Structure 1
Amino acid sequence: MDARLDYSAGPTAGKARKHFMAVGRALKESALPAATQELVALRVSQINGCAVCIDMHTKEAAAAGETPVRLNLVVAWREATVFTEPERAALALAEEATRIADAGRGVSDAVWAHAAAHYDEDQLTALVVLISFMNAVNRMNAVTRQPAGGYEVGQAH
């Protein structure tokens, strides 16, 4: 499979990439736990069918020590017992925010309250930015049909 477009090349891409990378760095430096960030990025990417992001976040999470069991169960996290309550709250928020048009109402008060019970305002901000960021990246990759499978841990993303 060949990509339709190399959106990392050209003057517009260079400027946009700089800002996208800054968002990524800000998220990595946030107080939101790194494991939660990878689980949320993986779940959003699964929902959106973004193979290149699934590849990247699975590999990054595994390299950071995430277990194969947890990685394999992210897709069915509601039925899995291996996630903490804060992780479950983050995954629920990620699902509702990613599927925002499905319910026609955005994120429910119950899901928001569950997340707010486990994360402070700064962490919630990081979580919302992460979910939004992943949705944007997933969509760019899907539209341009970026191929998956070749990601190596530590690559710039």
Structure 2
Amino acid sequence: MNARLDLFTNPVLGKFVKHFNAGARVAMDVGIPLATLELLELRVSQINGCAVCVDMHSKDLAHHGESAVRINLVAAWREATVYTDAERAALELAEAGTRIADGAGGVPDDVWLNASKHYSEEQLAALVVAIAGINTWNRLNVLTQQPAGDYVPGQWG
């Protein structure tokens, strides 16, 4: 499979990706564990059917020492006992923020309130940035049919 457009060398997309990446990095600087952010990004990518991001985040999680059980069960996190309450709240917020067209009026208040029990206002803002960011990446990859499977951990920073 060949990509429709190259996200890094196309003049418009390359410029967007450069600036977008710089902005998205703020989510990593507020004390949310990297594993939580990666699990969130993996789950959103599964929902959106983005093979590039599923490949990348599952490999990055393994590279950083995450167990195969936690990586594999993220698709069924509600029934799994291997996630903390804070991780579950982040995953729930991520799913609600990704499936906004499926619900009535966006993210339900109870989902937001549950997340606010585990995360500060600054961390909630970072989760919003991370959720919006991975949804954007998923759409860029799916729209341009980026091929998946060859990602090597650390390849893109």
Quickly name the TM-score band, shorter chain normalised. Answer: over 0.9
Q: Which runs of 5+ in 1 are unaligned?
A: none
- Over the aligned positions, Cα root-mean-square deviation in angstroms equals 1.1
| CA distance in 2: counterparts of 1:27 and 1:152, whole angstroms | 22
1:153 is matched with which residue? 153
| CA distance in 2: counterparts of 1:4 and 1:13, whole angstroms | 12
| Percent of pairs with identical residues | 58
Q: How does 1:9-20 map to 2 (within 5 A)?
A: 9-20=9-20
Q: Which runs of 5+ in 2 are unaligned?
A: none
Partner SS state of residue 102, structure 2: helix
1:133 is matched with which residue? 133
**Bigger Cα displacement from structure 2, 34-43 vs 8-17:** 8-17
- Is contact 1:31–1:122 with CA below 8 Å preserved after alignment? no
CA displacement, residues 54-111 of structure 1 (integer Å, 9 cap, x when unaligned):
0000011111111000000000000000000000000000001000010131000110
1:111 is matched with which residue? 111
- Letter paired with 2:149: G
2:121 is matched with which residue? 121
Partner SS state of residue 18, structure 1: helix
Q: TM-score, normalised by structure 1?
A: 0.96
Q: TM-score, normalised by structure 2?
A: 0.96
